[in-house]
Structure 1
């Protein structure tokens, strides 16, 4: 979890405070607290937030002590604080030094979703230090209890306006979260982004880094020669766009452990993938990764950023080809496929993951609509990838279901294709059934014989008729249609009818009778696997 403005209001020093503006910002994450008493917003522009960069996620304390009668300056400071990424303002000494809160401040706070909090009015004994201690204690406790650097970084950046959602902003949040300086470099150690902790030592770190002749080995660490009592950690990473990068951390005090370094690297990779490409195809790839890896918290954070209603996604469609360039071909087809789905109600995610085309969506209104859509997808893909197969996984309720379906498809598609060799379209039910059949084959002779027992009578028939094969095609391929079965076998329909009549006689029941059909169907499928 990350501490929000709303949670801070429950602290002892703030539980009598009132929120008077910017209520929509109560869910914003707070990384720190600071005090500001400035009359000149130009100071904020030139010194506190240079070049309009993010330097915030702080909540700020003020009494407007130097501008108690200058509402335009109060407004200008609030606007600049919000632009710098600060989340809100705690105003002290209303009715003591500051006569009142001008309604224009409240209107501006509401416009900017910038939380405006007023301490109890008329009390001169209030102290900044009490709030500062309470807030920082809450933040440090939360960080000590939270094991997810990734979620904290995503929570911090997702609440910011889009103009502040950049790699550099994300690295600043990361730097504050782990109390370390962060250097992101290309493969030749040219610095792409530099964020120092504490702030203000950029010159020393930059000069010291340029003077280095050697670096720690990948995944290793060494004493940092230019920051006292600190170590430098090096991690090599590759973004999904193919860039090879080096991530270096400089941390004083307690060292990083392997788990923390893994979290830092994961957070950095996600930030590069998303904000390095400005919400492009690589960015949505991170959301798909979180869904398939069953990481619901990370998934929901990313979904907030991309404005995707994940709860409405109950279908996953998968297309797979064994051609060597399948990934590239699927990628090239994405624009055309997205164009086809324009106007589809609800959220929709389309990506190429693990060399497969994945489409997540809500359940189509009718089976006919789903079939029409899947045929259109296949019609777009098949000319480019003739061996493509397609699977529709329906009724998925959560990320665990999605992950199970994806892994099940990946691991059992080959068996499904052996059981249903004439198909190009499969369902999640087909995949699950294929997995059950494989378990029978692997379960030992007794289990195998028990499963195959329903078709033993027709395999013992003395007539020179391939009754078992006819039954298999009738049930598994021919959809229990005499016409379709005759076409698949290239024989007359009357011949199929004769064979089915003979099969029924040997079995003692019609081949399409329920519930006997269930065991008969599975026996034919297992027979094919063998």
Structure 2
């Protein structure tokens, strides 16, 4: 069970292919082959390589036919495949439809030991099916040869990204290798990890196991009570954890046999012992994922297992733009800081960013102190890091909305407030509102900036406009801070503010008149950035 990329290069369909990048990954194990059809990196993240799924070890075929002239899109897809654990890519139709292989693709492949293989250039008669047949046959024949499943899976999981070195990943690899479904459960019958083969059977297998798990004893290859033409094996996993766990394996068609069941149990036991702490972290990540993806049934099930009162969660924190390696190292310390100011905290690295859902904090002072500490540590290695805090959320559905609000509008909020390092929900909502006005067209955007038009009557219009924006958006209406930011004397700022007041007919800061001016300044900044 150890077909490598190097082995595949000996196949007839790859006889004239060239390795043009990532040669350091030639010894990586290949578990299957797939075709890249999507060119939207977001689809790869949200649908193909969801955080709790690790297909891993696939080799991918593509011709980038939908983005032959979009090198940025090609690079983004390559990076997403690497993050998803794929081992290499075979490029077809170079010189036919794809003009050439851009140097940036090769550099990304080399940097990540991601094998980039180029089929003979200028040949339009090549077919994906030839390579798919060759690779599938090679992998199938290899699996017929007796070998150590344990060492193979452990080697592959050890080479996986650090955050994917978990029991869940091991189960997914097992399912792919053995063509079976697997579930790891507690003694009480709670499912901790579930992986199915073929994919898409999660609900069927989960419901079947939950229905009959209490009736099952340790047994090998007995008829499955909830799937036709399938056999089920249930074994006890006695790891270093205090509580024994159970592993259920379901195979349609030919049974696994006692030897493979024993090896599978051994793999899971070893993974729990090596990555036991991470196993708990992944389960917590699953709870966070259920909250952010609004999966109430899964959320309640996981909340019961970990004794988390999800109804008490009314706040969401996100650390954005931080170094990935630093984030992983500091996650536990950041969670500890959050727990100092809130009774309930559910947090994990989600889609590459630390996300925390909290109960209402004890006080604003404690909250700001914790966020400052989290941010100061992140800024040491990531000068562009920011923290987002959304408070007063009514339920977990609101937590999801706040998360999506952040994803959609944080970049615009940074343009409106370029000096901020901590963003609140209201600032994100303001950014969303401004973007909506701009997207409605030039007329709507100009109408939104009308409150600033009165300043055009002054010959120092640009200075007054700049002062108004800095005073309102950056300095919380502080004359001293505005002077410092613009490198001017306070008296100059006072003079300009007085001149602005004369032109507007009211002083900056007077409510409710200043509300529309504030929005106008935000739209102006966003328009200025766009242009």
TM-score, structure 1 normalization: 0.51
Corresponding residue number in structure 1 for 2:62: 62
Change (3 A) 1:143 1:215: farther
Corresponding residue number in structure 1 for 2:206: 206
Aligned length: 280
**1:154 has 2:128 as partner:** no
- Deviation of 1:146 after TM superposition, in Å, equals 3.0
Asked whether the 8 Å contact 1:13–1:134 carries over to 2, the reply is yes
SS in structure 2 of the partner of residue 13 of structure 1: helix
SS in structure 2 of the partner of residue 16 of structure 1: coil
**1:267 has 2:267 as partner:** yes
Corresponding residue number in structure 1 for 2:12: 12
- Deviation of 1:222 after TM superposition, in Å, equals 3.0
- Deviation of 1:148 after TM superposition, in Å, equals 1.5
Change (3 A) 1:213 1:265: closer
**1:76 has 2:37 as partner:** no
**Inter-partner Cα distance in structure 2 for 1:103 and 1:265:** 45
- Deviation of 1:174 after TM superposition, in Å, equals 1.0
**Inter-partner Cα distance in structure 2 for 1:275 and 1:23:** 30
Corresponding residue number in structure 1 for 2:296: none
- Deviation of 1:90 after TM superposition, in Å, equals 0.5
Residue deviations 1:428-451 (CA, integer Å, cap 9, x gap): xxxxxxxxxxxxxxxxxxxxxxxx
Asked whether the 8 Å contact 1:234–1:246 carries over to 2, the reply is yes
SS in structure 2 of the partner of residue 51 of structure 1: coil
Residue deviations 1:22-41 (CA, integer Å, cap 9, x gap): 11111111100001122211
Asked whether the 8 Å contact 2:220–2:258 carries over to 1, the reply is no
Counterparts in 2 of 1:124-273, with a 5 A limit? 124-212=124-212, 214-273=214-273
**1:102 has 2:102 as partner:** yes
Corresponding residue number in structure 2 for 1:21: 21
Corresponding residue number in structure 2 for 1:119: 119
**Inter-partner Cα distance in structure 2 for 1:26 and 1:243:** 41
Asked whether the 8 Å contact 1:31–1:58 carries over to 2, the reply is yes
Counterparts in 2 of 1:275-314, with a 5 A limit? 275-277=275-277
**Inter-partner Cα distance in structure 2 for 1:162 and 1:215:** 37
Counterparts in 2 of 1:480-499, with a 5 A limit? none
Residue deviations 1:89-144 (CA, integer Å, cap 9, x gap): 11100001100000000011111221111111111111111101111111111111
Corresponding residue number in structure 2 for 1:43: 43
Asked whether the 8 Å contact 1:19–1:115 carries over to 2, the reply is yes
SS in structure 2 of the partner of residue 199 of structure 1: coil
- Deviation of 1:276 after TM superposition, in Å, equals 1.9
**Inter-partner Cα distance in structure 2 for 1:129 and 1:193:** 34
**Inter-partner Cα distance in structure 2 for 1:183 and 1:16:** 43
Q: For structure 1, which runs of at least 5 residues remain unmatched after alignment? A: 280-530
- Deviation of 1:52 after TM superposition, in Å, equals 6.0
SS in structure 2 of the partner of residue 19 of structure 1: strand
Change (3 A) 1:213 1:146: closer
**Inter-partner Cα distance in structure 1 for 2:164 and 2:213:** 35
Residue deviations 1:323-375 (CA, integer Å, cap 9, x gap): xxxxxxxxxxxxxxxxxxxxxxxxxxxxxxxxxxxxxxxxxxxxxxxxxxxxx
- Deviation of 1:227 after TM superposition, in Å, equals 2.4
SS in structure 2 of the partner of residue 211 of structure 1: helix
Asked whether the 8 Å contact 2:184–2:248 carries over to 1, the reply is yes
How large is the Cα RMSD of the aligned pairs? 1.8
- Deviation of 1:228 after TM superposition, in Å, equals 2.5
**Inter-partner Cα distance in structure 2 for 1:263 and 1:210:** 24
CA radius of gyration, larger in? 1
**Inter-partner Cα distance in structure 2 for 1:21 and 1:212:** 50
**Inter-partner Cα distance in structure 1 for 2:52 and 2:208:** 26
Corresponding residue number in structure 2 for 1:336: none
- Deviation of 1:221 after TM superposition, in Å, equals 4.1
Asked whether the 8 Å contact 1:219–1:236 carries over to 2, the reply is no
Change (3 A) 1:65 1:175: same
Q: For structure 2, which runs of at least 5 residues remain unmatched after alignment? A: 280-531
Counterparts in 2 of 1:244-393, with a 5 A limit? 244-277=244-277
TM-score, structure 2 normalization: 0.51
